[in-house]
Amino acid sequence: MSPIVREYFRVPRDDRTAYIHPPPAELPALIERNRRLLGSYAFALAGRPVQEFRAAARAEAMALARQYAERWGFKVDRERPGPAPVIVTGHQPPPFHPGVWIKNFLTGGLARAVGGVGLNLIVDNDEARGQTARFPVRAEEGGMPRPQTRLGEPLLPGHVSGKGDSMSPHEAARQTAGKPWACHPGEVSLDEVRTAEVALASAGGLALEEQGAAALDTVAFDEIARSVPPALAGPWRRFAGLLKAAAVACASAGEALAVARRQLEEELGLRNLELPVSRMADSEAFRFFVAWMLAEHEGVFEAYNGALAEYRRVYRERSAAQPVPDLARDGRRVELPLWIWRAGEKRRRLWAEAGEGGAIALFADHERIGVLEDGAVRARRGPVRRAYSAEAAASAAKAGSLGEGGSGGASSYVAQLAALRQAGWKVRPRALSMTLFVRLAVGDVFIHGLGGALYDKISDALFERLWGVRPPELILASCTVRLPLEAYPATPRDLERARRRVRDWQFNPDRLSPGRPACVRPEFQALAAEKRRLIENRAATRPERYRAFLRIHDVNAALAALDPAGPAAARADLERIGRHLRYNAVLRDREYPFCFYPAEDLAAFYREATRI
């Protein structure tokens, strides 16, 4: 078994720089390697040849994605004849920063370059939180600028938060009205630059797919436009117009956010297919995958926790909660990497417990919700992977119904899971089970951000632990693009020089005074000469050295007092540079949502950065 290799990925620091690994020119060859590797897999999933499972899952996912495009009138590239490569990426619906959005453009550009299909997964099974518009504001009063929202303390819709306080966007706009947004170099401004956040929708703890579109606060959209710097108002109004229209037609807030983003992408020439994870999770292929996990729950449990233990060992991670918690065991019950809930309820963890005759009891946390039964199969505890014959592999091109054939247990479970769904229960993947399914069954390559790349180290290990195969390669993509706002000229080096100057006025004022009027005064020259003698004529005893130290301290104070403007100017310069650096941290933050950037400018940068 290949060990997880410890790697660290750093986002680009400079403006308008991208990180894509491997480089774009090498990506077509990577896809071809992945297709050959995936096509060589010769194991069975619950008795079903994996190639048959994969063909059926891909066909179903593409059909669902095209149905979704038709539902919303999305323009998509024409369907390719034959088995075209499928390039997949995905993210949650709330507006994300440009370093995330580059994945969508790389997906579309790469799909066109290799004659394939780009598919973006809308991760709407995540909890509805973080749906905020975050942007810089200016105010005449307040504390140090910093991001304002803390986890578990969502903002009320339509309010801008400052340092521990809140004010309406109307008030923020009133305070900044008629003022130039960016100071010119050298200008000392009394205004404070800080980060504000406006909640686009209430959270409530539900999954995004459960949160109705009525949760979107469309009144706040206009308030945001009046509060942001002028350069950001136009891009925001453009996206907000799309979002308002989508909110009328969409069932959920998450779907409205995703539809608005996709419509903006279409205006920019990007035509990826889109598929909500909620719809993918209701597909027959995903139900078969869940049925396999249930039939093999002990093996999945051991492989999952083993991969996490391997990751923590390689990365020297001490916390049992990082990067994700282990699956838990409670007697014969084991937790699986899946969510389950009923419509309108919060997400719960799915647990399984083997019973007699192949029966598997299902639990939503501690609530027993049903039993999957099949007298032909016993719950297995041995190795998860199953080999199958060359004849079975050759026949895998013909994809039939995944609920028929295969091992009796998993195939029977598919129909029972469908019945469970009809009864109102929703089974949804967690992050690792989602990418595991997509990489195995749907895509030829998955494009991750730099954070997700670390998580998929665990998925790599799961491919080897579950099925004894080498995992397909990943593509990593991120970038840094700053808002089109003028920053202050201060630098960290300027701050260090200013600190030294303040310190020198305290301990070495005689060094700073040459050329200043005070240095020609007789008393200044006498004090400077005394200080030189005290330093040059080192006292012999400790008491004498201590008296000399105290006298030097008094002389320094007297020298500085003869030129009071010097220390005051140094302190003012230090405060100004420090303040401007704090403001620059707000102005140059890379994680503002894409909807505050000029869209055509971003798209042009993406096309150049991802050119194959």
- Sequence-distant (6+) residues with CB within 8 A of 393 are 42, 49, 51
pLDDT surpasses 50 at 389 = no
| 554/506 Cα distance (integer angstroms) | 10
Joined tokens for residue 420 = 């469970």
Write out pLDDT tens, residues 449-485.
998 888 889 999 999 999 999 999 999 999 999 999 9
Q: In residues, how long is the chain?
A: 612
At residue 202, does pLDDT exceed 90? no
Is pLDDT at 183 greater than 80 in this prediction?
no
- Residue 211, phi then psi, degrees to nearest 5: -85, 115
Mean pLDDT of all residues in 44-65: 95
Give the residue among 354, 348, 325 at the shortest CA–CA distance from 426. 348
- 330-341 confidence digits (pLDDT tens): 999 999 999 999
Better-scored residue on pLDDT, 163 or 504: 504
Q: What average pLDDT does the chain have?
A: 84
N-term to C-term CA, the chain? 34
| Rounded distance between C-alpha atoms, residue 246 and residue 257, angstroms | 8
CB atoms within 10 A of CB 540: 8
Amino acid 402: pLDDT = 64
Of 484, 586, 591, 592, residue with least CA distance to 143 = 586
Helix (H/G/I), strand (E/B), else coil: 361? strand
Measured CA to CA, the distance from residue 295 to residue 46 in angstroms comes to 8
Q: Is the pLDDT of residue 195 over 90?
A: no
- Which of 388 and 434 is assigned the larger pLDDT? 434
pLDDT in tens, 306-324: 999 999 999 999 998 899 9
pLDDT at residue number 163: 35
Ranges 130-139, 287-296, 537-546, 549-558: which has the least confidence? 130-139
Q: At 448, list the tokens.
A: 């991750």
Domain parsing of the chain, residue ranges = 20-125+280-479, 132-253, 492-587
Give CA torsion, residues 254, 258, 260, 261, to 10 deg. Answer: 140
Assigned token pair, 331 = 């007697």
Average of per-residue pLDDT across 481-502: 94
What pLDDT is stored for residue 204 in this prediction?
65
The 8 Å CB, 24+ separation contacts for 498-502 are 498/570, 498/573, 498/574, 498/577, 498/578, 499/574, 501/570, 501/573, 501/574, 502/567, 502/570, 502/571, 502/574
Q: Can you tell me the distance from the alpha carbon of 227 to that of 172, in angstroms, rounded to the nearest whole number?
A: 6
pLDDT value for 365: 96
- Percent residues over pLDDT 90 in the chain: 60
Average pLDDT on 51-64 reads 96
Q: Specify whether the CB–CB gap between 243 and 93 falls below 8 A.
A: no
User: What's the one-letter identity of residue 376?
Assistant: A
Amino acid at 407: S
Q: Residues 83-96: pLDDT tens digits?
A: 899 999 999 999 99
In this structure, how many other beta carbons lie within 10 angstroms of the beta carbon of residue 376?
11
Phi then psi dihedrals of residue 117, to 5 deg: -125, 130
Instruction: Kindly report, residue by residue over 19-34, the tens digit of the pLDDT.
Output: 999 999 999 999 999 9
Q: At what angle are helices 218-227 and 169-176 packed, to 10 degrees? A: 20
Per-residue CA distances from 429 to 44, 140, 181, 401, 434 (Å): 21, 47, 45, 21, 5
For 94-108, the pLDDT digits (tens) are 999 999 999 999 999
User: How is residue 519 annotated by DSSP?
Assistant: G
Looking at residue 403, its pLDDT comes to 57
Count of alpha carbons within 13 angstroms of residue 128, beta-carbon side: 26
Numbers of helices and strands, H then E, in the chain: 20, 19
What confidence tier does 151 reach under pLDDT thresholds 50, 70, 90? very low
Distance CA 98, CA 591 (A): 7
Structure tokens that stand for 281 in this block: 């999770």
Distance CA 165, CA 385 (A): 56
CA separation (Å) from 322 to 96, 311, 369, 465, 520?
Answer: 23, 9, 30, 20, 65
Residue 428 is predicted with a pLDDT of: 97
In whole angstroms, give the CA distance from residue 46 to residue 63: 24
Q: Which is higher by pLDDT, 318 or 400?
A: 318
Percentage of the chain lying above the pLDDT 70 cut: 83
Q: Which amino acid is at 12?
A: P
40 burial (CB, 10 Å; 0-12 / 13-18 / 19+) is exposed
pLDDT(153) > 60: no
Reference 498, options 586, 577, 609; nearest CA is 577
pLDDT of residue 65: 97
